[in-house]
């Protein structure tokens, strides 16, 4: 399994191994281990698409808003990990925040403040109708944008319409 992950990362990075030793990659390795060991292939596929889709979208939105894109990338990877692993979405934001803290503590990747920032965003990310901190909003917006970009021909969920419209306007897309 380890070899497979390393091969995949080298492929993605065009073999430039010197750029692979940062905390985003250390977290990715940890998450990949969990996803690759999931028995349900359909759930595993959804996990990969959504977690890494939201992660990239988080980075993009954070860059646009001059926020911490490194932490944004990390929060996207972590935000629904608990739901996919447990295959249960009940109270997933709260459970996800608790588990994210355990992972970040275990890996020692973040300062206390950064861990709080990441866990707050995960805890609040289901409340799409409410506005929280600027960093929390990056995750909520990225979640909505990833749902939309998965297949723009699908109808947009009612509770995501307003947020999506605001995002498209922010990015200059009619
Ligand atoms: Fe999500």
Distance 53 CA to ligand 1 centre (A): 9
Task: Tell me the pTM.
Answer: 0.89
Distance 16 CA to ligand 1 centre (A): 30
Average pLDDT, the chain: 91
Distance 15 CA to ligand 1 centre (A): 30
Task: State the pLDDT at residue 87.
Answer: 81
| Count of CB atoms situated within 10 Å of the CB of 17 | 10
161 by DSSP, 3-state: which?
Answer: helix
Distance 155 CA to ligand 1 centre (A): 17
Task: State the pLDDT at residue 16.
Answer: 59
Task: State the pLDDT at residue 86.
Answer: 84
Distance 39 CA to ligand 1 centre (A): 20
Please spell the DSSP secondary structure of 129-144, one letter per residue: TS---HHHHHHHHHHH
Task: State the pLDDT at residue 118.
Answer: 98
* Domains (range + CATH), the chain: 2-170 (1.10.3210)
Task: State the pLDDT at residue 9.
Answer: 61
As a whole number of angstroms, the distance between CA 74 and CA 52 comes to: 10
| Count of CB atoms situated within 10 Å of the CB of 60 | 17
Distance 98 CA to ligand 1 centre (A): 16
Residues of the chain with pLDDT under 70: 1-20
Q: Backbone phi, then psi, for 69, in 5-degree steps? A: -75, -25
Task: State the pLDDT at residue 68.
Answer: 97
């Amino acid at each position: 399994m380890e070899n497979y992950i390393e091969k995949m990362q080298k492929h993605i990075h065009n073999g430039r191994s010197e750029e692979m030793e940062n905390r985003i990659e250390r977290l990715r390795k940890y998450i990949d281990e969990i996803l690759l060991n999931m028995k349900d292939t359909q759930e595993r596929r959804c996990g990969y698409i959504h977690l890494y889709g939201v992660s990239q979208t988080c980075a993009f939105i954070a860059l646009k808003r001059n926020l911490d894109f490194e932490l944004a990338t990390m929060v996207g990877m972590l935000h629904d990990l608990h739901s996919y692993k447990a295959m249960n979405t009940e109270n997933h934001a709260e459970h996800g925040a608790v588990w994210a803290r355990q992972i970040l503590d275990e890996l020692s990747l973040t300062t206390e403040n950064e861990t709080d920032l990441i866990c707050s965003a995960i805890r609040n990310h289901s409340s799409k109708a409410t506005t929280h901190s600027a960093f929390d909003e990056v995750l909520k917006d990225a979640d909505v944008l990833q749902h939309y970009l998965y297949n723009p021909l699908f109808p947009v969920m009612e509770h995501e319409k307003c947020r999506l419209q605001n995002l498209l306007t922010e990015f200059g897309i009619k």
